[in-house]
């Protein structure tokens, strides 16, 4: 599957999981996920390549596990292995 398609699916999954997703030109500034006042935010820097953006979204999805089961494509699900305890 093409990286841009996976990115679109990952962003949709993040929104499904309750993230407020902002896609802006941040010029290489800090992008990523955080929780602020009880809401999950995901800032995606459009100055990054689609692969870098996908990696950022996948890391956010790993960092903040789902509160309820969600449906992801099998290819996207394979990129989201469950986090292992340290």
* pLDDT grade for 85, boundaries at 50, 70 and 90: very low
CA distance 43 to 50: 14
pLDDT attached to residue 40: 93
Predicted TM-score of the model (pTM)? 0.74
pLDDT per position as a tens digit, 9-21: 999 999 999 999 9
pLDDT per position as a tens digit, 31-80: 899 998 989 999 999 999 999 999 999 999 998 877 655 556 666 667 77
CA distance 50 to 10: 12
């Amino acid at each position: 599957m093409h990286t841009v398609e996976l990115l679109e699916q990952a962003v949709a999954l993040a929104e499904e999981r309750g993230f407020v997703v902002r896609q802006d030109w941040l010029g290489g500034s800090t992008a990523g996920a955080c929780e602020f006042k009880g809401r999950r935010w995901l800032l995606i820097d459009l100055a990054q390549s689609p692969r870098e953006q996908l990696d950022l979204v996948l890391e956010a999805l790993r960092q903040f596990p789902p509160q309820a089961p969600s449906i992801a494509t099998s290819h996207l699900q394979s990129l989201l292995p469950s986090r292992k305890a340290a």
